[in-house]
Structure 1
Amino acid sequence: MRHPVLKQLLAACTGLVLQCLAPAHAADSSLSVELNEAVVRLPVDVSLRNGTASSGEMLLTSFKPTGPGPFPIAIINHGRNADRSTPERFRMMAMASYLVYQGFAVFVPTRLGYGGSALPPDVPGEQPLDPEASGACGDKDYVGAVAPALQQIARTLSYARQQRHVDPSRYLLVGQSTGGFASVAYAATNPSGLIGYVNFAGGVGGDPLQHPGVPCQPERIARAYANFGKTTRVPNLWIYTENDQYFAPSYSRNWYRGFAAGGSPAQFILQPPFGDDGHRLMGEGRARWNPLMDDFLVRLGLHPVPPPAPPQASGYATINDVARIPWLNASAKARGYGRFLSAKPPRAFAISEAGYWGWANGSTETVSRALGHCNRVSTKPCMLYAIDDVVVWQAPQEATGGLSALPQDASGGLQQKPFGGSWAFHDGS
């Protein structure tokens, strides 16, 4: 072990005794039904860069495949947002949904200092405590600043291993930006059970507004990566882009060379430009990284599941034929389906025989979110009606009787409660 400080921190964290865990119901979205999403508040202690300790409750989001398992564990580590108060909790839906589909039980910690895991300031009236603060741009302590993240990865793993549906002997790490740097650092401690990790745009000290592409004191990051590479023995994949506004290719290539010189079984892939900032590739570019992740799972001896075929038009109706929508009254069609039609893809619309509806657009997992919005309020199961520009709904036999059998509300109209909308999720940087 070449990193005794990191090893000591991890040992202290993994030795914690589990306390009572209260369910946490974040208000930023409904929970994904398809991904069996759940949220808890997990007590955690961290050691700060100045040598002091802090404690708090970390929001931990989990997803899992349907079935008893046991499923290998995957932990996704988020990056830093300019506004650390948002989102309320990180879900990392694009990667989480991919890994669940590949048979992993997924855990996404919202680390202390972010969103609903915020810590009160030391002095009333000041900003909330930031456990991952690394200092001024001219005097960075990146290794010390990442130590709390490593403790929280270890705490997440300790909790995950106690769940009945997991295989505690195998786990994968995936990290983005600061979360990628933390994943590399954690793997360097050679923890038991880790089968590999994926580092998306990993790094620290970037600022796309003040110094785009040029991180603060990149030589210190290079030195840290080189040291991590000396003790890392699990397969790992590094994915960066040519137009990353936090870490330009000249830096990411150099960091990888120094890391790989230590003999780690590493692979570096530089993707072409993605949008106006390739740093967002993991959150928004699943079509780009899906085959890269598939190949990496093969390297790990796993057998990736090919993506499902996109839903096909059922022929029941055209997308704009509002009159053909069953079960909903005129108001629901106008307000619910009308909003769906005005939204840009990706989008999905769900309905239930009880007259309820839900829709979602503008992010990943629109199908899951639309069904989740609908099922959260409906007294009967919701069914998918439309995706993007096609109607996919198959009319069940019992639907042919029309709407006459539905209950009436006090005003004489059909009971229905609109619940849906355009929800936006940012996966962090």
Structure 2
Amino acid sequence: MKYQKFFIPSGEAGVRLEVVAAKPQHDGPYPTIIFNHGSTGRGQSKALYSRTICPAVIGNYFVERGWMALFPQRRGRGKSEGIYGEGLAPDGSGYSCNVDIAIAGFERAVEDVDSVVRYLREQPDVDQDQLAIGGVSRGGILAIAYAGMRPNTFRGAVNFNGGWLGRGCPSHETVNPLIFERGAPSGISTLWLHGSHDQYYRIGHCRGNFERFLSAGGQGKFVTAPMGHALMFKPALWRDHLDQYLSDITMSPNS
């Protein structure tokens, strides 16, 4: 497997986004997934902002199945340029529980995914008919919502332990279902993988998000595993579910 790091333009003038790509050894074009990172915990440690997130467990999984995995770093994260502005409180205390600030932070993340999709559309080694989106934590809810906000873009969307605000904010009961609901118009089947002991999002809350998504017209499967927020790092708990899902979305002519 080859890892390549490069920069692409963002929608903000003069600001570039860092992207890490995990590629199969054979020549493309490859089915491709955009995999989105999460938050930085409470948002209080600026040292965490500069860490490039490209989990090998995800890169290895997709490359072994012939997929290319892209790990974009949103503005102000990793080595991406610009300011990290995904819902931080004005007083520097970390992520804000204010609904409007949180939603504005989500919208900023959407702009960065738009930049990645624009880039992908121009790449000859990307199979344009086999695009998927995924992510973990904030990246998981971003993946589901984005697929519905930009229908006819992806064949699949995969959510690991997704949510925008954790249960430390009472407003997470408002913000998370509101954002997940935006994914309903995607018209594609989605896969939700949640740890039953997640320390940020109670499993009942996650099921409620899924039900809200379904009631708005979304489609998908909800899987629970005996794990916490680090479920992504235990592929034995989700590999078979994701294998089946990829098989379904690859073979289905209506996806």
Q: Structure 2: how far apart are the matches of 1:140 and 1:221?
A: 12
Q: Which of 26, 47, 50 in structure 2 is aligned with 1:67?
A: 26
1:266 and 2:229 aligned: no
Q: TM-score, normalised by structure 2?
A: 0.86
1:225 and 2:180 aligned: yes
Quote the offset at 1:170 in angstroms: 2.2
**Contact 1:184–1:199 (CA under 8 A) maintained in structure 2:** yes
The one-letter code of the counterpart of 2:2 is N
Q: Structure 1: how far apart are the matches of 2:216 and 2:144?
A: 13
> More helix by proportion, 1 or 2?
2
Q: Matched residue of 1:270: which SS?
A: strand
1:89 and 2:39 aligned: no
**Contact 1:84–1:114 (CA under 8 A) maintained in structure 2:** no
Correspondence for 2:135 = 175
1:112 and 2:75 aligned: yes
Q: Structure 2: how far apart are the matches of 1:265 and 1:233?
A: 7
For 1:78-128, what per-residue CA distance to the aligned partner results, in whole angstroms no more than 9, with x for missing partners? 001133543531112111111111111221101112132253xxxxxxxxx
* Structure 1: stretches of 5+ with no match in the other structure: 1-34, 47-53, 120-128, 304-429
Q: TM-score, normalised by structure 1?
A: 0.53
Q: Structure 2: how far apart are the matches of 1:115 and 1:75?
A: 16
Q: Structure 2: how far apart are the matches of 1:263 and 1:90?
A: 32
Q: Structure 2: how far apart are the matches of 1:252 and 1:233?
A: 21
Q: Structure 2: how far apart are the matches of 1:117 and 1:165?
A: 23
Quote the offset at 1:160 in angstroms: 2.5
Q: Structure 1: how far apart are the matches of 2:170 and 2:138?
A: 12
Q: Structure 1: how far apart are the matches of 2:78 and 2:23?
A: 23
Correspondence for 2:38 = 79
**Contact 1:170–1:193 (CA under 8 A) maintained in structure 2:** no
Quickly say closer, same or farther: Cα 1:159–1:206, change in 2 above 3 A.
Answer: same
Quickly say closer, same or farther: Cα 1:78–1:256, change in 2 above 3 A.
Answer: same
Alignment of 1:116-265 (within 5 A): 116-119=79-82, 129-133=83-87, 135=89, 136-206=96-166, 211=168, 216-229=171-184, 231-265=185-219
Q: Structure 1: how far apart are the matches of 2:107 and 2:244?
A: 31
Q: Structure 2: how far apart are the matches of 1:194 and 1:216?
A: 30
Rg comparison, structure with higher value: 1
**Contact 2:151–2:187 (CA under 8 A) maintained in structure 1:** no
Quickly say closer, same or farther: Cα 1:137–1:189, change in 2 above 3 A.
Answer: closer
* Structure 2: stretches of 5+ with no match in the other structure: 90-95
Quickly say closer, same or farther: Cα 1:215–1:152, change in 2 above 3 A.
Answer: same
Quickly say closer, same or farther: Cα 1:154–1:227, change in 2 above 3 A.
Answer: closer
Q: Matched residue of 2:174: which SS?
A: helix
Q: Structure 2: how far apart are the matches of 1:115 and 1:134?
A: 17
Quickly say closer, same or farther: Cα 1:139–1:70, change in 2 above 3 A.
Answer: closer
**Contact 2:147–2:153 (CA under 8 A) maintained in structure 1:** no
1:41 and 2:4 aligned: no
**Contact 2:38–2:138 (CA under 8 A) maintained in structure 1:** yes
The one-letter code of the counterpart of 1:96 is G
Quote the offset at 1:148 in angstroms: 2.0
Q: Which of 259, 280, 291 in structure 1 is aligned with 2:230?
A: 280
Quickly say closer, same or farther: Cα 1:193–1:130, change in 2 above 3 A.
Answer: closer
Quote the offset at 1:192 in angstroms: 3.0
**Contact 2:196–2:202 (CA under 8 A) maintained in structure 1:** yes
Q: Name the structure, 1 or 2, with higher relative contact order (CA <8 Å, separation 6+).
A: 2
Q: How many residues align?
A: 242
Quote the offset at 1:163 in angstroms: 2.6
Quickly say closer, same or farther: Cα 1:139–1:262, change in 2 above 3 A.
Answer: closer
Q: Structure 2: how far apart are the matches of 1:96 and 1:61?
A: 10
Q: Structure 1: how far apart are the matches of 2:11 and 2:206?
A: 32
